[in-house]
Structure 1
Amino acid sequence: MIKLCIFFISVIVFSSCSLKENVNVQANEKAFVDEDTYILFALRAEEVHDNKSAADLFTTLYEKSDKKEYIYRSLENDLMARENEKLIQRVDSLQKENTFDFRLMRYKVVALFELNRLDEAIKLSVLLASKTKKPNDYLLTSDIYIKRQEFDLAVKYLESAYAKENNEKILDKMSIILYVNLGRKKEAIAHLETYSRMLGCSELICLRLIAFYSNDNNIDGLLATNLRLYEFDKSPKVAKRIIQIYTYKQDYIGLTKFLEKSNSNDEVLLQLYSSLKYYDKAYVLASKLYSKTLNMDYLGQSAIYEYESAQNKSSKVLLKSVITKLEKVVQVKNQTIYLNYLGYILIDHEIDVKKGMSYIDRVLILQPKSAFYLDSKAWGYYKLGKCEKADKLIKEVAQMEGGDDPEVKVHVKKINECLKNIKR
């Protein structure tokens, strides 16, 4: 079971009654001549973490001035110095003078908690919360119940605190107890979802939902929450998670829409366009990426997608554009995909079959056993009228992996027809 980080003393107590914010030494008249000097020494002691000395100095200030701000500050330093027994005795003594001082009670509750005197701490804390009805006092009480592992009661007081102020940190703490300690997972998630729908999915709430949905293997919940998080946190980390989830779900249409809207990963979007055969969009995106980066791979892809997206693949304007781009690419990149594509276009459209064959030969040096590239070579022989050579090679291709490709079958048929014509 996950252990909760409980009891944030400085946050709960000092945020509600911090004397660093409330010390009032701006009275019209000093209580005694050296008051400012004592204050400076006390503040310096705090600055160097000499809390015992600071407590003594603020006690002196209180005794000389009778200003309550100083005794509160002194007790705060007792807590920082872990002088808990001393603090309890001092509070008990001071309470005789003050019928019911809420600040003194808070300090005593914290000291009792630190000493693990939980029965006394909870009794006093419940009384305090019932009288003040302040969120911080509800939180203080809930922390004690958490340490006592009375989680139902802890949630009760957290709910009271949350009802007073829709604080996401309170909700987060409550959801952890519900989910982890009480096993009320649906309730925990429902609270977080309600908050996120009504007040917006802050980073804290979204990340807590993501943690819960991840633990539950709720993929749809994970996706929806990450998409909400991305609305205000457009970091690559969040975008990457969304891409991974869409990919896991094999929802490539949804992923495409996300990438188009977010512009978070054009490289992945380009791959998607290619896989989904959105060649017109792929051509536009690859051209944009080339203009932006001058990366030759994008120029090569732009040429391929320009050709694949064209309705009239025999257009002279098209072929000139594609060939020009690919020739520019293969001058600097000796990659099989671009060499083969260029060679095949030159062969298939009978623009320059021999030159096309020379590009295919360069490919086969790199991958001599590729059925895909040997098919291009066989087709080159066919276009040169060397049908016997074409037939011998295409028969090898037909026996290889990829030999049943529809384009290979078309080539086999054409080459066989060529052989029959020769025999006649």
Structure 2
Amino acid sequence: MKFFSFAILCLTLVTGCGRPTAVLELQEPQEQTDYSCSYFYFLWATHAEYSGRYPEALEAYEKALICDPSARYIEEKIPIVMFKMGDFEAGAAWLLSAIEAQPDNDTFKLFLANLYVQQDKLDAAIGLYRQVLDKNPANEAVQIRLGLLHTHLKNYDEAETIFRKLLQTSPTSYLPRLCLARLLKERGRYDESITQFEQALDLNWSKEIAFELGFLYVDRQKYSEALRIYAQIIDQDEFDEQASLSRIQALFDLGRYDDALGELYRLRDFSSAPDKIDLIISKVYLGQNRPDKARPILLRLTRKGDAGPEAAYMLALIYFQQQQYGLSLELLKQITPHDEEFEEAVYLQTRIYQKTGDSRPAINNLLHYIADDQIVSPLFFALLSSLYQERDEPDKAVEILKEGVLRYPDDPQILFEYGLLLEKTGRHQVAMKTMQQVLKLQADHAEALNFIGYTWADNNVNLDKALEYIEKANRLKPDNGFIIDSLGWVYFRLGRYREAEEAFQHSLTLESGDPNIYEHLGRVYQVQDKHSQALEMFQRAVELFGKNAKKKKLEKEIEALKQLLDTGKK
């Protein structure tokens, strides 16, 4: 309240001494806005907020609001500063009080809704957004926020309805189109999602969304379309390395290796990391089985000394393939336990010692590695067990894998290896139980499914279940020749000979050196009275069996078939 001036006070005294009929009544003046006061404290508050002195800023904003109670822009600053101070509960309480006092203030409702989202109180946030939309249903920004919340909560139908209604009202609106594209992708409706992404890019092209669409095309194996998108990005910025690398990967996926190499050499000219591009080029050459092209690049990189363990490993692999084992081992020594390539290096090192016929150094290395908690890996137990098996020390092989299983009880692969070894050493029932335990750890372990299914089929039991297991394994690994062989074997047991024959023939295109598949195909021919074809398959199997115990039995069957065919000729 303002003080009365001295002149008015004197006037009161004077009139009080005069006639009583002239009484002057003074009214208390209403509180007035002091803009200079408000502006002063507002400037003070904004400076303190900018400097991170939030308690001081909050106090100054409150004083500014006292000076000008109607200033909404000041009022809206108070909860923001509370949030910056981390006092979310106080901010929420302040907003709730403000909303109660000003129920039509949508700004406060949106502030509070955003806070609820951060606090994961999503239902409360949705309620506030709906209050705002009840008053202003055409508010696109709030509709989008509501749709995104429904998407997050997997209320996909509600979210899709919101985005599609927005697009009906405004077909050229970008954000609803983008949100719908992402929602459809999340729902697995990829073709519809792609259509929406393409339209979103037409409305507002951006590199980020172009990449998102490109990755989606790659995921759906539409590599030509992905190339088109990456070309758009490169047209905008020819030095974009991510776009170039993505384009190169798509070229690989299409089998256009020479085009990919050309793109890599182009990228190398402006890349900030040309050595990394050289490393990729080397990988391409190795993938094409052209080590003569990769070797000089890798030699240069390793001689520079800063190419890292990956180049050393790749060059060691080339030397291994060229049987230059000493050079390979020297390079592998450069790879330390802290390097990502260490496990692969140990595996290659073990292979080299196996090739040279001296497994003792590899055994010593692996014993050292599994004794070191900083280095140990499930792979090392499997490698060591395989070396003991080669040395005809089955008990040690079993014990070391058993130790690995105890150390890594949740690792399905080492448990699978243990099951295979149990089967190999004649412990069939324990092996089956072990494989079933593998499936408890990893229900989609294709090899364990195949093992159990094939074992059932081989024993002519649980054939329907065996078919179910092997079909699942085949879906998981459709190009695995051994799984396809198992599928053929269960068909054979079920009497579905035509399907069995097709499966075995397909299997041989993938695993032409496996004698068991030839034997299986021979069995199918045999039961269909295709004796000459059966004989041919059995003879091929005998050639490949080596010292396998099946060889003698099959040789007897071959003689019987020959006699049968000779009798038929007579």
Higher relative contact order (CA 8 A, sep 6+): 1
Q: What TM-score, normalized to structure 1?
A: 0.46
Q: What TM-score, normalized to structure 2?
A: 0.35
